[in-house]
Amino acid sequence: MGSVKDYGELYTSDILVIGGGMAGLVTAIRAKENDPDLDILVVDKGIIGWNGQATKAGNGIRATSKHPDGVMNALKYLVHAHTPYMNNQEFLKRYLEVHRDNIDYMRHCGVITSCDDEGNAKPLPFIPDALDMGGVSIHVAKQLRSFALKLGIRLLSRVNLFELLTNGQGKVIGAIGFDMDHGECKIFHAKATALATQGCHFKKIGLEFMGYGTGVGAAYRVGAVMSNVEFSTQVDVVFKKTNTPIYGGFNMIQNKNGRNLTDHYIGHKEWEVTPALVEAMVKEVKDGNGPLWVNLEEPDEVRAMIGGHDMDETTQRMFRDKLAWEEHVFMKTARTSGEVGSKPETTIKTVIQVEPIKVDTDIKTNVEGLWAPGKISTQGNAYFGWTRGDGLGNASTTGMMAGDSIYRYAREAEFDEINVDQVAALKEKIYAPLHRNTAHKPKEIFDMIERYIFDVNKCVTKSAEEIQKVYADIDKMKKILPELTAEDPHTLSKCLEAADTVLCLEMIFRSAETRTESRGIMYPHYRTDYPKTDDKNWLKWINIRQGADGEMELFTEDIPLWRYPVRPEGYEIPEGHAEEYYV
C-alpha cells in the first residue's frame, strides 16, 4: 500500500468548497472573514469568476424588508405562496433574518448592485414590508472572485470532483476528482467541506442550464439525506417558434377555433401554469384542435401584471448588463427565426430540477463535516417559496449561513487521516469508463432522459401507471451505465454525470410514487390518480437516503407544525406533541 500522493496530486486546506459559483464564493468569503487564519480552497470544474448560474441566470436579488415585522411578514407570505404549509418554518425564519442583510453584504463584497444617486443600495419594495428587490451586476461572480482573492482565499479552476472521502466514522474529510484538461487525478484533504455544486436540471435548451447532479450523487453515497424531490417540475408557456417564455400569457391560450382554454377548463384566472391547464392543452392537441395560439393584441390583466409592460428607467438601469446580453441573444434569435407576430403559436416548456440535500438551519447536512449551501439544497431545506425566482439571493444567503457555521467547525476540527484504500477504490471507480471499450456513449443516456421533458404524462401529470413505465426505463439505463465508455476527460465526466443524473431521476419518481396526493402551485406535485390535496395524511416530508444494502430507502417525516407560527386552518396538534411555538 502506497501513500495518497501515489494516486494523484494532493491539496490540503482547512475548508474545501466544491463549486465556485456565487454560493461557493460567498461561503468561502464569509468563513474567511470570520476567521482570516483559515486556509480555504475553492474548486470548480469551470473557471471561477466566469462560471456558475449567477453569471447567466436572472439578475435580480431579493432581501427581507428592513421593516420591523419584515421577517414575519415575509414568512407568512412565503408559507402561503406556493406549496402551502410544506415549509420548514424554522429554517425559513433563520433564513429570512440573514436574508435581510443580503444586498448590503453583496455590496460589502464589492458586488455592484442597483443604487441611488449617492451610490447606496436602495432596493425596490417587491412585496411591501416583506421582501425587497434590487438589481445585481451580471458579473457578480467575477466581482466576488476579486474580493475572495483579496482576502487570500485560494481558487482552483478546471477540476471536476465526483466523490467525497470519508474517515471510518463516516465524516467527510475531502474529495477526489480529476483535472478537466489533462485528466490527472486530484485529491483534496480538508477539515470541513462545503458542497456548493448546483442541483440536477433535466433540461438543455435555449438558456436553460444543465446541472448534472454530481454533488447530489456524491453526498447521497456518503449518507446524506435528500428531501422533497417530488416537487421538481415547473412549466412555462412559450412561443413555439423561439421557445422563449410568454410571461403571464397562460390565461390567453386559444385553440384553433378561438376557444379560450382557461375559461373553458378552469373557469377563473390563474397566476401560474397549473397541471390542470397543461392537461387541458394536451387534450386539445390530442383532439385535433391544435395548433394552440395566443392573441397578443388582446389585453390581459395577468400578462400586464407579470411581464407585458416595458420596464421603467430605474429598472432598466438596474439590469443593464443583463439587458445587453438578452438583446444579443434576442437579436440572434430574431435573425434566425423571424418575428413571432401578434398571434403566435404556443406550446409549453418544462423545467425539472432536483436540489434535494436536507440541511439544518446552519446549512449543515446530516453527514459530519459536510455543508450544502446554494442551489443544491433548495428542496432539501424546505424553503418552498420564492427561492426559485431568487436564485442569487438564495445563493448568497445560504452561503452566508454556511460560512457562519463552517468556520467554527473547521477551527476546532483536526485533520483525519485519509484512507488510502478508499482513495484507490474511488479512483478506480472514477476512471473505469476510460478502460472500457464498448459502443455505449453517455449521450445515449442523456437522450433518453431528455425525452421526459417532452412527456407531460411523466413529468407534470404523473400516475402510478406512468411511474412504472419510468422504472422500466431506469432499469434499462442502469444496465447501460456500467458499459459507458470514455476517451478523454470531458467524456469521462459525462459518463460519471450520466450515472448521477439517473440517480436524481429515480429519486423524483420514487418520491412521487410515495406521495399519494396532489399539492403545490409553482413546482407542483400532481397525481392524476390522486388529484386532491390531502392535509390529513400528507403534511409530511418524504426523505431519501442510501440504505445499508445500497438501495434507495424512503421514509417520511411529520412536518412539526406544532413548532411553527403559521398553520393551516383547523390544524390540530397530533397526539404525543404539545404546542411549542409562542409569538
Q: What is the footprint of other proteins within residues 17-76 (CB under 8 A)? A: 39, 41, 45-52, 55-56
Residues 6+ apart with CB under 8 A from 548: none
In the complex, least distance from residue 166 CB atom to other proteins, rounded to whole angstroms: 24
Q: Which of residues 343-382 bind other proteins (CB under 8 A)?
A: 347-350
CB atoms within 10 A of CB 405: 23
What x/- string results for residues 101 through 120 when contact with other proteins is judged by CB under 8 A? -----------x-xx-xxx-
DSSP letter assigned to residue 272 = S
Paired sense of beta strands 346-354 and 233-239, if any = antiparallel
Rounded CA-CA distance 256/245 in Å is 20
Site string for other proteins, 464-503 (x = CB under 8 A): --------------------------x--x----------
- Segment interacting with other proteins (CB under 8 A) among 89-97, 124-132, 277-285, 367-375: 277-285
Segment near other proteins (CB under 8 A), from 299-307, 320-328, 403-411, 539-547? 320-328
Tell me the C-alpha to C-alpha distance, in Å, between residue 55 and each of 127, 186, 208, 210, 321: 25, 26, 13, 14, 10
Smallest separation, CB 179 to other proteins (Å): 9
Cα four-point dihedral sign 562, 563, 568, 569? positive
Least separation in angstroms between CB 543 and other proteins:
30
Residue whose CB is less far from other proteins, 87 or 193: 193
Q: Write phi, then psi, for 176 (nearest 5 degrees).
A: -140, 145
Residue closer to other proteins, measured from CB, 87 or 350: 350
For residues 523 and 539, the answer to whether their CB atoms sit within 8 Å is no
Cell of 533: 390535496
CA–CA separation, 483 and 441 (whole Å): 9
Which cell is 56 given?
447567466
Residue from 109, 219, 430, 453 that binds other proteins (CB under 8 A)?
Answer: 453
For Cα atoms 255, 259, 260, give the angle at the middle one, nearest 5 degrees: 90
Q: Are 236 and 382 in contact (CB under 8 A)?
A: no
**Interaction residues for other proteins, span 541-570 (CB under 8 A):** none
CB nearer other proteins, residue 287 or residue 579: 287
Site residues (CB under 8 A) for other proteins, limited to 321-340: 325, 328-329, 332-333, 335-337
Q: Does 292 bind other proteins (CB under 8 A)?
A: yes
Q: Judged by CB, which is closer to other proteins: 7, or 446? A: 446
Binders of other proteins among residues 165 to 194 (CB under 8 A) are 180-181
Task: Kindly tell me which of 50 and 581 has the beta carbon lying closer to other proteins.
Answer: 50
Minimum gap (Å) between residue 456 Cβ and other proteins: 4
Span interacting with other proteins, options 281-289, 301-309, 547-555, 560-568, rule CB under 8 A:
281-289
Considering beta carbons, is residue 5 or 283 the nearer one to other proteins? 283
* Span interacting with other proteins, options 315-323, 354-362, 369-377, 563-571, rule CB under 8 A: 315-323
Task: Single out the residue of 33, 90, 104, 208 in contact with other proteins (rule: CB under 8 A).
Answer: 208
Name the minimum Å distance from CB 45 to other proteins: 8
- The verdict on 315 binding other proteins (CB under 8 A) reads no
Contact at 8 Å (CB) between 20 and 52? Answer: yes
Cα–Cα distance between 388 and 27 in angstroms, integer? 20
Q: Which 3 state secondary structure label does DSSP give 260?
A: strand
* DSSP states along 238-288: EETTT--B-TTGGG-EE-TT--BHIIIII-S--SS--HHHHHHHHHHHHTT
Q: Report the site for other proteins in 75-94 (rule: CB under 8 A).
A: none
The contacts of residue 348 (CB under 8 Å, 6+ apart) are: 235, 236, 237, 238, 273, 278, 281, 456
With binding defined as CB under 8 A, does residue 341 bind other proteins? no
Query: Of 343 and 443, which CB lies nearer to other proteins in the complex structure?
Result: 443
Nearest to 319 by CA among 138, 456, 510: 138
Q: Site residues for other proteins, window 377-436 (CB under 8 A)?
A: none
Site for other proteins in 255-274 (CB under 8 A): none
CA 24 centroid distance within chain: 14
Under the binding rule (CB under 8 A), the answer on residue 456 touching other proteins is: yes
Q: What minimum distance in Å lies between the beta carbon of 537 and other proteins? A: 30
Nearest distance from C-beta of residue 458 to other proteins, angstroms: 9
**With contacts defined by CB under 8 A, how many residues of the chain interact with other proteins?**
79
One of 286, 309, 435, 536 touching other proteins (CB under 8 A): 286
Kindly give the pairing relationship between strand 60-64 and strand 40-43: unpaired
- CA angle, 215 as apex, 162 and 525 as ends, to 5°? 145
Which one of 415-423, 442-450, 521-529, 572-580 is the stretch in contact with other proteins (CB under 8 A)? 442-450
DSSP state of 574: P
Q: Which of residues 127-166 bind other proteins (CB under 8 A)?
A: 135, 137, 142, 145-147, 149-150, 152, 154-157
Q: How far is CA 398 from the centre of its chain?
A: 12
Report the residue from 242, 361, 514, 533 that binds other proteins according to the rule CB under 8 A.
242
Smallest separation, CB 439 to other proteins (Å): 12
Query: Cα separation of 449 and 425, whole Å?
Result: 29
Nearer to other proteins, 225 or 280 (CB): 280
> What nine digits make up the cell of 464?
402510478
Angle between helices 489-514 and 442-454 (to 10 degrees): 40
Question: Considering only residues 108, 443, 479, 577, which one is a binding residue for other proteins as defined by CB under 8 A?
Answer: 443
Closest CA to 95 of 299, 486, 298, 377: 377
How many angstroms separate the first and last alpha carbons of the chain?
A: 60
Q: Across the strands, what pairs with 165?
A: 174
Which of residues 205, 305, 425, 464 is near other proteins by CB under 8 A? 205
